Amino acid sequence: MRVGDHESHVHLRRPPIPGRGERWALLLDIDGTLVEFAQHPDDVHLPPGLQSLLERLRLGLTNAVGILSGRTLAEVDRLLAPLIFPVVALHGAEQRYPSGELTVLSPPAAIADSTRRACAAALDRWPGAFMESKSGFGFALHFRAAPEHGSAVRQFVETIALKSGGNYEVQFGDCVAELKPAGRSKGSGLLALAAKPPFVGRLPIVLGDDLTDESAFEQAEALGGFGVIVGPRRPTSARFSLSGPAATQAWLHSLANHLELEVKDPA
């Protein structure tokens, strides 16, 4: 399925729990999915109890839990510390597999530097907007505090991407326009994880809130799983929905309880 398969007027149901014999893998976005957005990404913190919930899920799914995020790998690890998960970070540009193997796709240093300088210089046009540099080669222009500049910021990043010689592509999100290394996505990252134990052979269940998650929703469907859209954004290729991060946490608690009961009473 692709974005638009579920029209905006269709009410999407709350996701189910695994049927008997179903082997799930859980892939989670962070911002807007597990936790609420903040004006600045550095202001986001995990609410009490979320780390222990994630650990329960990992135990219940025999380690088949991963993170799909637009944040850098270092930021994901900082937020979730001391927990360490397989991660598809920076929209797929950074990937850490269950074995600990790491792959990074980055543009040539000179192109990354010229892109950074162009973005920094443009900020003077948009008071209230700011740039987030991601691992030195990904660049996100945030305008949550200055939404009136959204159209101009989007046009700017599209122009920069065209000038990058195919090294960058644009990723739009909630009050953010990003320049990310071309050629990877959360969807391609999900496929890479799905080929690695303990994810191989399982049904991928993807929770996410933003346009950046649509490629992962589509790949989850192709592999027999499904996507869960968090929040009101429509249309989407996700099959189920949750109203926001609080609803996500409540559903994850239900899932963890179910998995623990299955261990106690496998029959």
Domain range annotation of the chain: 24-104+184-264, 109-181
Task: State the Cα–Cα distance between residues 176 and 7, nearest whole angstrom.
Answer: 24
Q: Does domain 109-181 have CATH number 3.30.70.1020?
A: yes
Catalytic residue among 29, 31, 77, 213: 29
Residues of the chain above pLDDT 70, percent: 94
Mean per-residue pLDDT, 59-67: 98
Residue 17 pLDDT? 94
CB-based contact 91:178 (threshold 8 Å): yes
Question: Does residue 23 have a pLDDT over 50?
Answer: yes
Helix (H) or strand (E) holding 263: helix 245-264
Whether the pTM exceeds 0.75: the reply is yes
Quick check: bond before 181 cis, omega within 30? Answer: no
Catalytic, 43? Answer no
Residue 264 pLDDT? 64
> Could you tell me which residue, 183 or 2, shows the higher pLDDT?
183
Q: Alpha carbon of 135 to those of 88, 122, 183, 193, 211: distances in Å?
A: 14, 20, 17, 21, 22
Task: State the Cα–Cα distance between residues 253 and 261, nearest whole angstrom.
Answer: 12
Mean per-residue pLDDT, 41-62: 93
Task: State the Cα–Cα distance between residues 145 and 222, nearest whole angstrom.
Answer: 37
Mean per-residue pLDDT, 9-36: 92
CATH of 24-104+184-264, one of 1.10.150.250, 3.30.420.40, 3.40.50.150, 3.40.50.1000: 3.40.50.1000
Give the lowest-confidence range in 20-24, 191-195, 262-266: 262-266
At residue 245, the 3 state secondary structure works out as helix
Give the tokens for residue 215: 């490629």
Q: Which of 174, 204, 207 is nearest to 191 (CA)?
A: 204
